[in-house]
Homo-oligomer: A and B are copies of this chain.
Amino acid sequence: MQMSADPDDNLRRALANVKAAAQRGAQVVCLPELFRSRYFPQREDPSHFALAESIPGPTTESLSEAASKFNVILIVPVFEKRAPGLYHNAAVLIDSHGAIIGVYRKMHVPDDPNFYEKYYFAPGDLGFRAFDTAHGKVGVLICWDQWYPEAARLTALRGAQILFYPTAIGWHCSEPTEVREQQLAAWQIIQQSHAIANGVFVVAVNRVGVEEELTFWGASFVADPAGRILAQASRNQEEVLVVPCDLNRIEEQRHGWPFLRDRRVEAYDGLMERYLG
């Protein structure tokens, strides 16, 4: 999706996209991170807290209705207002009857020039989760999480068969073409690596379009448990990508490369340290 300045317009178009995906046979539909608005963390501005809402709230209510109407499972990113002055970057999993199955709150929160998320979002405190659905066990992670092998591993160890990454990632206008290509390649590689290391499907769902100083690079994709890109969306156009995922591929892949068998769990305690140097 490309986001407009009007949250209601973004909601209307999200609902239309959910309908379009369902009509093309989608069973699980994932919307991009913070899809109700432009990417407001580009600036630190307290007025943006007005965009936040509770869970359940207006966004989940609209999407719950769509889920049951179109008989699809939905992954719905929400700028969550948990309490006055306490906000999260969250995603809600809604089943095809419109019920909320669970919530994920972004665990790894970035803070970089034009991505000032630590100002807006408290770090998630629900941990890494996988949710049973009628169409497989689904893990949800959000954007910056995608750079952390720990997040993918923990979600896969919970039994997730597909990792969904609602995302808002783009280039700063000052960045040269060569750097842009390298960044997009790295973003794709790190997520393919999660598919490979864990023998799971990975779905990355990004926005497109120019918003102030950022150009969101789109290129949403689905990778299979061998890390192969099954389908990839445009870098600059909205697109509804419907991709069949044969969950039997997971076991087949893990028989060929049985990585989960050989983890040295008794030697991994250093992973709970910031640094060991």
Contact = CB atoms under 8 A, between A and B. Distances in A.
Nearest to A259: B147
10 contacts: A107-B264, A109-B262, A147-B257, A148-B259, A149-B149, A150-B268, A158-B277, A186-B196, A265-B271, A265-B272
Interface in A125-155: 127-128, 130, 144, 147-150, 153-154
Interface stretch (A44-52, A58-66, A187-195, A240-248): A187-195
Contacts of A268: 150, 154, 271-272
Interface in A189-211: 189-190, 192-193, 196-197
A24 interface: no
A258 interface: yes
A227 to B, nearest CB: 5
Nearest to A274: B265
Given A112-B256, A130-B277, A265-B274, 16 more contacts: A108-B263, A147-B196, A149-B197, A154-B267, A154-B271, A157-B273, A158-B276, A158-B277, A182-B226, A186-B227, A189-B193, A190-B196, A193-B193, A268-B271, A271-B271, A271-B272
Contacts of A227: 182, 185-186, 189-190
Contact of A189 (B153, B192, B266, B271): B192
A190 B223 CA distance: 14
B228 A182 contact: yes
Q: How many copies altogether?
A: 2
A189 to B, nearest CB: 5
A111 to B, nearest CB: 8
Interface size bracket, A side: 35 or more
Nearest to A151: B264
A20 interface: no
A123 interface: yes
Given A197-B190, A262-B108, A269-B272, A277 B159 contact: yes
A138 to B, nearest CB: 13
A159 B276 contact: yes
A274 B190 CA distance: 23
